[in-house]
Chain A
Amino acid sequence: MTGELSHLLPEATLAVGVLLVLVADMLLPAGRKASAGLLGVVVCFGALLAAAVSQRGSVSDMLALDALAQLARPGVLLATILVLVAGRAADGRDDGHAAWVALMLALALGALVTAGSTNLVSLYLGLEVMSLAGYALAGWKAGDRRSAEAGMKYVLFGGAASGLMLFGMSHIYGLTGHLDFAGIGAALATDMPLPVLAALILAGAGIAYKLAIVPFHFYAPDVYQGAPALAVAALGTIPKIAAVAVLVRAISLTVPDTLVPPTAFGLALALAAIASLLVSAFTAVASRDAKRIVAFSAIGHAGTVILALACMPGIMPVAAAAFYLAAYTVANIGALVCLAVFERERGSAALDALPGAMRQRPWLTAALCLFLFSLAGIPPLAGFLAKWGVLREALRVGLGEAGREHMTVAALILLASTAVSAWSYLLIVRAAVLQPAPEQPRAARLAPGLVAVVLVCAIASVGLGLWLDGFASIARALGG
């Protein structure tokens, strides 16, 4: 057992970190309490180090530290560090910052548990730890009506999704007699009766909610609009990394290979992806709030990742999904950090509030445009290469494999929705750059932490776009 427990070092570091941050908040003198944020960053780097040296293995039949987990762990932790650093710089308040940091660490802890889970119970626990921290983060702005409403909607819809998921999970357990993915897969290898398929789809509700794909997307616009921008940066990226990792593992362990491609399960994934892409593209254009546009298009980005997963089995679809998630994560965090600054200075991130941003903060506005272009998929940025990878997989499967012609249609819909959602991103760019505004003075310098986060995200967005070998490298990491 001791050998197995050592695999949990990153998770243990985060769990201890949550407590350390809260204790530090009590011990630090008033006026210095914001240093708890620094402690949070140190804890994350510690967990990152522990993840880097950890061996592959498993902890009973609850958690697996396979290639997927090894890839998801640094992703989750790096995203957490980016948000923490930005939060420390953006949050001017002294008291209460430590609790925010503790919630962020708890979110990362839940994400790591989710990403590594190989059992329905550990999956449920991980998802809930992640969710409970997320609910609190969404409703974080004290006394703000919109933030409170965002938190309330998030928790009520999230609770409904986890209720459906548990109901499905209990039927899976009853019908197959197993809670662990491998056991379920062994029981389903011979035949997949309809009740089990229904239960699997119900159980997928919890994961679909975390990914915000249709039909579990309807909370996303309201929550993203009302929640503080930095909370959105965390909620829109970290749970997605974890949910995709566990979805890939669950599919490859439980759904028999013979059933994946042309039958109900692969089709269900493709349909969810297509619906997400369409809903996202045509609702984003109608929005008048930058955070709402980002929320609607996040539904489409999740749909694109699911589209890549619908091309399974194989390593290359997973590599395409992982690359897409990496490109999306850096661009999304970067864009929301920029919007967080504008939201604080201008009172809201509505499109009406953005004109004049270019004059007041030229560099930050330029960075915002870079992130939006990357999200829109404009070359040579990361978003373009990522979209191309998914498109290539969908076309390879759709044109090459008999019985999966629907993937070609899905690829065409991906192309069309990319064009439409690029238009909605341009709405933000137009409001911030082109629209005339009364003369405004150049704003004061930004905190160094914010500048660093924006720079890192920008360099990553450009760098990933030029990393032509990326798919092959990720595939090697996953296969090796």
Chain B
Amino acid sequence: MSIPGPDSLSAYLGVAAVLFSAGVLAMATRRNAIGVLLGLELMLNAAALQFAAYGRFRADGLDPQGQTAAVFVIVVAAAEAAVALALLFAVYRTSKDVDLEQTRELRS
């Protein structure tokens, strides 16, 4: 079975690291809640890619556990996105905005 793409673990880990950093950056700097959510998806996908890559490039051969974990991550991420979007919609309905600076009501 030949898989297209680079045949080394470090290439995939590098891509995952870039994805993860981009996600963290987006979560930290975006003011729009949808942008924050996009950053979150990048972080989760970086983790899923790492699970799959680590499972594929094991010293003692392919390990299905890594791929399985990646599938779990993808499924749960979809559920999480659904709940998050529902909550953002609830915020939008009450304040007509999902800008995190504008919707701040809770403080001491």
Residues A135 and B58 in contact, CB atoms below 8 Å apart: no
Contact of A121 with B87 in the complex, beta carbons under 8 Å: no
Q: In the complex, what's the smallest C-beta–C-beta distance from B17 to chain A, in angstroms?
A: 9
- Contact partner, B108, options A124, A136, A169, A292, Cβ 8 Å: A292
B84 close to A159 (CB less than 8 A): yes
CA distance A164 to B104 in the complex (A): 25
| Contact call A144/B94, Cβ cutoff below 8 A | yes
Closest chain A CB from B71 CB (angstroms): 10
A177 near B58 with CB under 8 A, answer yes
Q: Does A221 have its Cβ within 8 Å of any Cβ on chain B?
A: yes
Residues of A within 8 Å of B, CB-based: how many? 47
- The minimal Cβ–Cβ distance linking B107 to chain A, given in whole angstroms, is 8
Which residues of B are found within 8 Å of A288, using beta-carbon distances?
A: 108
A149, B84: Cβ atoms closer than 8 Å: no
Q: Are B94 and A167 in contact (CB under 8 A)?
A: no
In the complex, the answer to whether A160 meets B79 with C-beta atoms within 8 Å is no
Chain B residues whose C-beta falls within 8 Å of the C-beta of A286 in the assembled complex: 108
Residue of B nearest to A173 (CB): B54
Given contacts A132-B79, A149-B106, contact A163 B69 (CB under 8 A): no
Min CB distance A56 to B, Å, is 25
Minimum distance in angstroms from B45 CB to a CB of chain A: 10
- With A120-B69, A148-B91, A156-B84 known as contacts, the answer to whether A169 contacts B47 (CB < 8 A) is yes
- Residues of B within 8 Å of A368, CB to CB, are none
Q: Could you say which residues of chain B place their CB within 8 Å of the CB of A292?
A: 108
Which applies to chain A's interface (DSSP): helix, strand, loop or mixed? helix
Partner of B84, one of A135, A144, A226, A287: A135
Q: Assess whether B15 is interfacial by the CB under 8 Å rule.
A: no
One digit per residue, 1 when the CB lies within 8 angstroms of any chain A CB and 0 when it does not, for chain B 52-90 equals 011100111001011011001100100110011011101
Q: Do the beta carbons of A226 and B106 come within 8 Å of each other?
A: yes
Could you tell me the distance between the alpha carbons of A196 and B51 in the complex, rounded to whole angstroms? 15
Q: Are A121 and B106 in contact (CB under 8 A)?
A: no
Contacts A132-B83, A152-B88, A166-B47 given; does A287 touch B72 at CB 8 Å: no
- CA A146 – CA B105 in complex, angstroms? 7
* Chain B positions within 8 Å of A124 at CB level: 72-73, 76
Interchain CB contact under 8 A, A156 and B37:
yes
Q: Determine whether the beta carbon of B105 is less than 8 Å from that of A145.
A: yes
Q: Is the CB of B84 within 8 A of A225?
A: no
- A174–B68 touching, CB < 8 Å: no
Complex Cα–Cα for A246 and B13 (A): 29
Q: Which of B68, B87, B94 contacts A145 (CB 8 A)?
A: B94
Closest to B73 in A: A166
- B83 near A173 with CB under 8 A, answer no
Kindly list chain B residues whose C-beta atoms are within 8 Å of the C-beta of A160.
27, 40, 43
Contact B106 A225 (CB under 8 A): yes
Measured in the bound complex, the distance between the Cα atoms of B23 and A164 in whole Å is: 11
Residues of chain B contacted by A152 (CB below 8 angstroms): 33, 84, 87-88, 90-91, 98, 103
Q: Which residues from chain B contact A343 at a C-beta distance below 8 Å?
A: none
Contact A125 B108 (CB under 8 A): no
Give chain B residues whose Cβ lies under 8 Å from the Cβ of A221.
106, 108
By a CB distance below 8 angstroms, the chain A residues around B66 are 173-174
Give, as a whole number of angstroms, the nearest-CB distance from A201 to chain B.
16
Which residue of chain B has the shortest Cβ distance to A224 in the bound complex? B106
Q: Pick the contact of A166: B36, B44, B107 (CB < 8 A).
A: B44
Smallest CB-CB A-B distances: 9 pairs: A163-B43, A174-B54, A166-B47, A170-B50, A148-B90, A159-B40, A145-B94, A222-B106, A151-B87
Subset of 27 A-B contacts with CB under 8 Å: A120-B69, A125-B76, A132-B80, A132-B83, A135-B87, A145-B95, A145-B105, A146-B105, A148-B90, A148-B91, A148-B95, A149-B105, A155-B80, A159-B80, A163-B43, A163-B47, A164-B43, A166-B43, A167-B43, A169-B47, A169-B69, A173-B55, A173-B65, A177-B59, A179-B65, A226-B105, A286-B108
Residues of B within 8 A of A (CB): 20, 23-24, 27, 33, 36-37, 40, 43-44, 46-48, 50-51, 53-55, 58-60, 63, 65-66, 68-69, 72-73, 76, 79-80, 83-84, 86-88, 90-91, 93-95, 98, 103-108
